[in-house]
Amino acid sequence: MIFQHLGAAFELVLTWNMFLIMFSCALFGLFVGSVPGLSATMATAMLVPLTFFMDPVPAIAAIVTTAAMAIFASDIPAALIRIPGTAASAAYVSDLNALTRAGKVGRALGISVTASAIGGIFGSLVLIFAAPELALVSLNFTSFEYFWLALLGLTAAVMLGSASILKSLIALCIGLMIASVGMDTTSGLPRFTFGLTSLLDGVAFVPALIGMFAIPELIRTFVHRDLPPPAAPIGNPFSLFRGLGGVLWRHKTNLARSSTIGTIIGILPGAGSDIASWISYAVSKKFSKKPEVYGDGSEEGLVDACAANNSALSGAYVPAMVFGIPGDSITAIVIGVLYIKGLNPGPMVFLTSADTIAAIFLVFLLANILIVPLGLLAIGFAAQILRVPKLVLAPMILGFCIVGSYSIDASASGVVIMVVLGVLAYLMEENGFPVAPTILGIVMGLLVERNLVTSLIKSDGSPLGFFERPIAAGLALTVAIIWIVPVVLWVRRRKKRSGETFV
Amino acid sequence: MSFNRRNILALAATVVLGVAAPAVAQDWPNGPVTLIVPWSAGGGTDATARMIGTLLEKELGVPVPVVNRTGGSGVIGHSAIADAAPDGQTIGVATLEIGSMHTLGLTDLTYKAYTPIGLYNSDPAAIFVRADAPYDDMAGLLTALEAAPDREFKASGSAQGGVNHLALAGMLLAAGLPVERVAWVPSEGAAPGLQDLAAGGVQIATASLPEAAALMSAGLIKPLAVFADARLDDAKDLPTFKEATGNDFSLGSWRGVVAPAGVSDEVAAKLVEAVDKVVHDPEYLAFMKDRGYATQWTPSGEFESFMETSDKALAQSLAAVGLAKQ
């Protein structure tokens, strides 16, 4: 099907013009991804006016390359200064940073760059070979299915924590409470906004993310004088590969599993690369032989989450190309560009513009392959900041945080949110409460609530609706098993133990 | 002169007043003309505004930066346009929400806070059902709705109080049915609402035609009528709601260029002239057509009365669905 168009596609892709565009967009994506506060979505939106002047294939290539690079590159500040560049890295920030502190920054980012590329290539292959069929499956998802999926995500939050389940639950609830601020889309009325217009759209996510990760670190640097000795930066980029093959080979099943999870979540409209990396990280921990090191420098968790978030990026294009339904906020913009370029999304586009579509698919593969060499270069440069003493670096990080939070809607409200939530995160961490479940609560809170309420409206308030559709029932069963099994095991262990005492 | 505090204040005041003094028409444009968009980058309003900004730059010979002031369900951006100095150096794009925000009690701002420049786009809402639905036309659906008990039919297409919700409510009222007849299932926008229709989550969806184009060409959903005064050029076969049922009703999202209230008549006239040229530029028209947006040009005074009508229609629909703030 796709093969007879490959020749024409190669002609469209292998030109100097394309090479230049992809190369410069890759650098742009690396920059945007590594600066906390600049998101991949923002970078895509900034590219749109430029794409007006390009042919269809270069226009899509520019966006695909920028986004793929940005999602990978957000791991760089996560590893070096413990601030995720985008939400997609939030799940495994502490792992990346723990590895950096242990002097293994090369290994950490080496895993990130290769797993990202592999996940991205996997997602692209799925897009190439099964887009129309998979898009039809995604159409079976209504609010009932999304409700269970979101609940699965929240369950992941509690399983993620290295802290006690109770503390993780409390942290999750704090996140859910923060998520409930703002305009309630189901009733159309503002909630907990205290009459502040800037809170109508809820607590802005990017400032929350930056604040909750960066501010506690900064407070510890300045107040507690918690100054670890500078970690050894990377000598030469090739050292990143040392021992990497072994790690990846050991975790080949993880790679396959997380690329699949990532692609599936990417395909579903309304769930993107951030949720993909959280869920695959949680699944990874659940099946790991060493769950205790998760959050404390687990290479296995990194492999999983990095593969998942880049594969989700490609998966999101499946419903976008076939039905014009965005799989995430980036494809929402891409759909607009497709229309401008006369590639109106729909099943027909695969027939009427087969050469162009095949060329776009090639671009997906190329962009993900480009991650490796360019990523290594970027890591080599960026890792030099580890030589800078922390007391010198910290004020600059604070500056970046302020600029990043401000840039979201060009107002001081983002900065206030960053500081308030940052101090909250500091207090939580000082008292042994994990921050990750709170972040997930903010991300997923609205998704759970909105799908719960809309489902109840559809079923006229009857809870039976949540189990009537086959996929919904399957997801419900999964959630039930995850919740019930640990309780059963715990009860059994207790019985056994109490039995032993009495014998 | 020593730089004591009073001197510095005086100096600052001179600078600020100097800048804020109303521009005389022959000075305009005096430096960049900022175009404020109340919605996020990448959306439809943003895309059309950026196209207008690019062409306006050529027309005026000064930079026209597009600034997205998002948040507050549109309140922040719309306020930013209204609060800007009325010197013509700051303009913006106002959308349909300027009529619903104040009725919802989110702000005191209304269309009266602006100097209307011109309406450049309005996309009427249309009503869709699944392709395998048992009704072939609008009359068939209305008959089914008349016979059905309240809330048996579910519809989606926007948030509560969003344009597509109000379109459905207004349609029911116009057809003489109670708004409770159809339960509104809120969605984050037209695309998720239409997907829910295709997935079988709801039986009816309201959205503009370009938003539904892909699912229509996939043969999954079909339009029954469009809420416009006349048939659309791109969909000659689709009857208007009035043709299909005899009841008059039209509603849809719209976008127009506005300046803050108080802009001098000369500057306003120059703005109208410049934007008029832009929206008749072949490059702009080709862009709007490719993207599936309807084009129109309703300048100044007519635009103001358009906004007034839209405001009243929205207030009526919002009151009917119980969302109007008392």
What tens digit of pLDDT does each residue of B59-106 get?
A: 999 988 888 887 777 888 899 999 999 999 999 999 999 998 899 888
CA distance A503 to chain B (A): 58
Q: Do B73 and A324 touch (CB under 8 A)?
A: no
From chain B, pick out residues whose CB is under 8 angstroms from the CB of A139: 195, 198-199, 220
Query: Quick check: A42 and A3 in contact, CB under 8 A?
Result: no
- CA A267 to CA A317: how far, in whole Å? 7
Q: Is the pLDDT of residue B2 over 50?
A: no
Q: Which of residues 237-276 of B touch A (CB under 8 A)?
A: none
B42 with A340: Cβ contact below 8 A: no
**Interchain CB distance below 8 Å, B71 and A409:** yes
A336 touches chain B (CB under 8 A): yes
| DSSP run (H or E) holding B222 | strand B221-226
Q: What count of other Cβ atoms lies within 10 Å of the Cβ of residue A2? A: 15
B32 in contact with A at a CB cutoff of 8 Å? no
| Cβ pairs bridging A and B (under 8 Å) | 157
SS3 string, A10-25, reads HHHHCCHHHHHHHHHH
How close B153 comes to chain A (CA, Å)? 9
Distance, in angstroms, between A196 CA and closest chain B CA?
A: 9
Query: How far is A52 from chain B, CA to nearest CA, in Å?
Result: 9
> Residue B21 pLDDT more than 50?
no
Question: How close B20 gets to chain A, by Cα (Å)?
Answer: 21
What's the gap in Å between the CA of B226 and the closest CA on chain A? 21
* Mean pLDDT (chain B, rounded): 86
Q: B69 touching A, CB under 8 A?
A: yes
From CA A214, how far away is CA A400, in angstroms rounded?
10
Interchain contact, B323 vs A188, CB within 8 Å: yes
Is residue A197 less than 8 Å (CB to CB) from chain B? yes
Ordered alpha helix ranges (H), A316-435: 317-323, 329-340, 349-352, 354-382, 390-407, 413-430
Which distant-in-sequence residues (6+ apart) come within 8 Å of A190 by Cβ? A182, A183, A184, A199, A200, B106
- Determine, for residues A142 and B201 on separate chains, whether the beta-carbon distance falls below 8 Å: yes
Q: Which of A262, A256, A282 is nearest to A153 (CA)?
A: A282
Contact residues on chain B for A143, CB-CB shorter than 8 A: 185, 196, 201
pLDDT at residue number B213: 83
Cβ B93 vs Cβ B37: under 8 Å: yes
**Max CA distance (Å), chain A:** 82
Closest chain A residue by Cα to residue B50: A49
Residues 6+ apart with CB under 8 A from A419: A211, A215
> Could you give the dihedral angle defined by the CA atoms of residues B268, B269, B270 and B276, in that order, rounded to the nearest 10 degrees?
110
- Point out the residue among A183, A269, A329 whose CB comes nearest to the CB of B73: A183
Class of domain B31-122+252-320: alpha beta
Q: Hey, what are B169's tokens?
A: 């409510």
Task: Give me the residue from A42, A323, A413 closest to B218, CB to CB.
Answer: A323
Question: Among all chains, which residue has been given the structure tokens 């206030």?
Answer: A416
Q: And the tokens for B1?
A: 């002169």
From the CA of A334, how many Å to the nearest CA of chain B?
A: 8
**Would you call A412 an interface residue with chain B, using a CB distance cutoff of 8 Å?**
no
Could you tell me if B234 lies within 8 Å of chain A, comparing CB atoms?
no
Question: Any CB–CB contact under 8 A between A350 and chain B?
Answer: no
The residue type found at B260 is P
Per-residue pLDDT for B11 more than 50?
A: no
Interface predicted TM-score of the whole assembly (ipTM), two decimals = 0.70
Selection from A7, A344, A109 nearest residue B216 by Cα: A344
- Asked whether the beta carbons of residue B191 and residue A336 sit closer than 8 angstroms, the reply is no
Residue A241 corresponds to which amino acid? F
Model pTM score = 0.76
Per-residue pLDDT of chain A (503 residues; tens, 9 = 90+): 556 777 788 888 888 888 899 999 999 988 888 877 677 777 787 787 677 778 888 988 998 899 888 888 888 888 888 887 777 787 888 888 888 888 788 888 888 888 999 999 999 898 888 877 777 777 778 888 888 888 887 887 677 666 677 888 899 999 999 999 987 767 767 889 888 878 877 888 778 888 888 888 888 888 877 666 555 555 565 666 667 788 888 888 999 999 999 998 888 876 677 778 888 888 888 888 888 888 788 889 899 999 998 899 888 888 888 877 776 777 877 877 887 777 877 777 777 778 888 888 888 888 888 888 888 888 888 877 777 777 787 888 888 888 878 876 677 888 999 999 999 999 998 998 888 788 888 878 888 888 898 899 888 888 888 998 888 899 899 888 878 877 788 788 887 776 555 44
Contact B117/B274 with Cβ under 8 angstroms?
A: no
Q: Does B191 touch chain A (CB under 8 A)?
A: yes
Are the C-beta atoms of residues B210 and B123 closer than 8 Å to each other? Answer: yes
Across B291-300, average pLDDT: 87
Q: What was the pLDDT predicted at A278?
A: 83
Residue A501: what pLDDT?
52
Q: Alpha helices of chain B — where are they, by DSSP H?
A: 5-20, 44-60, 75-83, 97-100, 138-147, 163-174, 190-199, 209-217, 241-245, 265-279, 282-291, 300-320
CATH code 3.40.190.10 region(s) in chain B: 124-245
DSSP B259: E
Q: Which residues of B touch A270 (CB under 8 A)?
A: 188, 192
Contact B185 A198 (CB under 8 A): no
Q: Does B73 touch chain A (CB under 8 A)?
A: yes
Q: Which long-range contacts (CB under 8 A, 24 or more apart) does A469-472 make?
A: A469/A140, A469/A142, A469/A144, A469/A145, A471/A140, A471/A141, A471/A145, A472/A144, A472/A145, A472/A147, A472/A148
d(CA A190, CA A181): 8
Give the containing element (helix H, strand E) for B35: strand B34-37
**Cβ of B188: how many Cβ atoms within 10 Å?**
15
Reply yes or no on whether the pLDDT at B13 is more than 70: no
**A352 and chain B: CB distance < 8 Å anywhere?**
no
Does the structure show a pLDDT above 50 at B3? no
Whether A56 and chain B come into contact, CB under 8 Å, resolves to no
B304 pLDDT higher than 50: yes
Pairing of strands B90-95, A189-191: unpaired
The reply to whether residue A185 touches residue B154, judged by beta carbons under 8 angstroms, is: no
A188·B218 Cβ contact <8 A: no
Closest residue in B to A465 (Cα) is B201
CA distances from A501 to A492, A497, A498, B86 (A): 14, 6, 5, 83
Angle between helix axes A105-138 and A93-101 (nearest 10 degrees) is 160
B69: nearest CB among A185, A200, A409? A409
From the list B43, B72, B104, the residue facing A201 with the nearest CB is B72
- Tell me if B225 sits within 8 A of B127, measured CB to CB: yes
Question: How far apart are alpha carbons A84 and A43 in whole angstroms?
Answer: 16
Chain B closest CA to A200's CA: distance in Å?
4
pLDDT of the residue at A244: 78
Residue B18 confidence (pLDDT) above 50: no
Q: What average pLDDT does this structure show over B211-235?
A: 88
Q: In degrees, to the nearest 5, what angle opens at C-alpha A130 toward C-alphas A126 and A135?
A: 105
Q: At what angle do helices A40-51 and B44-60 cross, to 10 degrees?
A: 50
Contacts of A454 in chain B (CB under 8 A): 156, 185-187
B186–A186 CB contact, under 8 Å: yes
Tokens describing residue A330: 């980036």
Residue of B106, B211, B326 to mutate, interface with A, max A Cβ within 10 Å: B106
Sign of CA pseudo-dihedral B27, B28, B29, B30: positive
Distance CA(A80)–CA(A98), nearest Å, equals 10
Bridging pattern class, strands B252-260 and B114-130? antiparallel
Average pLDDT over residues B105-116: 92
CA Rg value for chain A: 23
Closest CA to B68 of B89, B99, B96, B47: B47
Distance in Å, alpha carbon of B1 to nearest chain A alpha carbon: 36
The CATH number given to B124-245 is 3.40.190.10
Q: Which residues of A touch B76 (CB under 8 A)?
A: 197-198, 200, 409, 411
Query: Which DSSP symbol is given to A239?
Result: G
Contact predicate B224/B129, CB 8 Å: yes
Q: Characterize the bridge pairing of strands A182-184 and A189-191.
A: antiparallel
Q: Does B70 touch chain A (CB under 8 A)?
A: yes
Nearest chain A residue (CA) to B221: A323
Locate the chain A residue with the closest alpha carbon to B196.
A142
Pairing mode, strands B221-226 and B114-130: antiparallel
Nearest CA in chain A to B197: A142
**β-bridge pairing A189-191 and B34-37:** unpaired
Residue closest to A250 by CA, chosen among A304, A305, A312 = A304
Domain boundaries, chain A: 3-468
Contact flag A197-B41 (C-beta cutoff 8 Å): no
DSSP secondary structure letter of residue B78: H
d(CA A62, CA A28): 10
CA A434 to mean position of chain CA atoms: 19
With 0-12 CB in 10 A as exposed, 13-18 as middle and 19+ as buried, what is A434?
Answer: buried
pLDDT of residue A3: 66
CA distance A92 to A273: 13
